[in-house]
Amino acid sequence: MILNILEELDIKGHLTISKVYSSGDEEIVFDDHNIIVSGMGVGLAHLFALSGSDSILDYQIDRFQIGISGLPAYEVSTTNKLQGPLSSMSEYVGTAGNIMTASGYQIRNGSVSPVENWYGLIPQQHITRIDDNTVRYTIFIDQESCNNISRLGVNSSLNEIGLFIKNIKNNDPIAPILVAYRVFSNIIKTSDFALVFRWSINF
C-alpha cells in the first residue's frame, strides 16, 4: 500500500547544493534528483486514513539531518535513516552557528527508535510554494555551523542529507520520519563558506 501511494502520486524531488562565500559569490557543487523514501508513503497513509496525529502541523516537512556516512547504496526507497547523522546540537551549531535545532526520537520500520536524534529545523519562511505542485525547502548552513566534524580524530566530510516529517503519530517526545534522502559529493565544511540546500519536492 505504501509503495502504491508513492507510485500513484508520482512524487519527485530535486536537490541543489551551493557554497556561498563572504563575498557573495555562489558556487553550485551538487545538482541532481533525490530519493523519495517509503516514509513519505507512511506519512501520507496516516494523513489520508486519519490514523495518526489529529494536527496537520505534525505532517509538515519541517526538519532535516545532515550526515557523514552516505553511500550510493543507501539511495533506495527502503532507507529509513541517515547512516552517520550529526549527533549533537554542538555539531550542528558549533560555538556561534545560527541553525535552530531540536532533539527527538525517530520512526524506523514502523516503530519508534529509542535513540535520541538531533535535527535542524527549517524556518517557515524557508518553505516556499513554487507552483501548484512544488514546494521548495531551503536549508541554510551558515559559515559557523557544521564545521570541522570529526570522527576518531579525523575530519569527516558531509555527504548525506534527509528531510523529515515532524511527528505523524503525535508521539511525546516527537518522532519524525524520513521522507527524502540524498547522498552528495564530499564536503569538508569550514567557516570559509556557508552551504545552501535548495530541495524541491513535486507532489
Q: List pLDDT tens digits, range 143-168.
A: 999 999 998 888 999 999 999 999 99
Q: 26: domain range?
A: 2-202
Q: How far apart are CA 121 and CA 123, in angstroms?
A: 6
Each residue of 41-67: b (16+ CB within 10 Å) or e? bbbbbbbeeeebbeeeebbbbbbbbbb
Q: How many domains does the chain have?
A: 1
* pLDDT confidence tier of residue 53, bands split at 50, 70 and 90: very high
**Nearest CA to 158 among 139, 172, 132?**
139
Nearest to 70 by CA among 124, 34, 26: 34
Residue 200 to residue 33: CA distance in whole angstroms: 9
d(CA 201, CA 16): 12
pLDDT one-digit tens code per residue, 165-198: 999 999 999 999 999 999 999 999 999 999 999 9
Q: Name the average pLDDT for the chain.
A: 93
C-alpha cell at 189: 565544511
